[in-house]
Structure 1
Amino acid sequence: MTHCPLSAAEIDAFIDIAFAEDIGTGDITAETVIPADATLSADINARQDMVVAGLFLMEPIFKRLDAACRITLDIKDGDYVQAGTRLAIITGPARALLSAERTALNILQHLSGIATMTKTYVDKIEGTKAKLLDTRKTTPGLRKLEKYAVAMGGGTNHRMGLYDAVMIKDNHIAVAGSVAKAVAGSKAAGRTDIQVECDTLDQVQEAVDAGANSLLLDNMPPATLIEALRIVQNRLPCEASGGVTLETIRAIAETGVDYISVGRLTQSAPAVDIGLDFHT
Structure 2
Amino acid sequence: MSLSEWLLTKRNVYIKNNIRKISLKIPDGLWIKCDKCGLLMYYKTLNKNYKVCPECKKHFPTSSHDRVKQIIDKNSWMPNNINLASTDPLGFCDKKLYHKRLQDMQAKTGLLDAVQTGIGKINNLPVAFGIMDFRFMGGSMGSVVGEKLTRLIEEGTNLRIPVIILCSSGGARMQEGMLSLMQMAKISSALYKHQRKGLLYIPILTSPTTGGVTASFAMLGDIIIAEPNALIAFAGRRVIEQTIREDLPENFQTSEYLFEHGFIDLIIPRTQLKDQLYQVLSFYHKPHQ
Q: TM-score, normalised by structure 1?
A: 0.31
Q: TM-score, normalised by structure 2?
A: 0.30
Bigger relative contact order, structure 1 or 2, given CA contacts below 8 A and separation 6+? 1
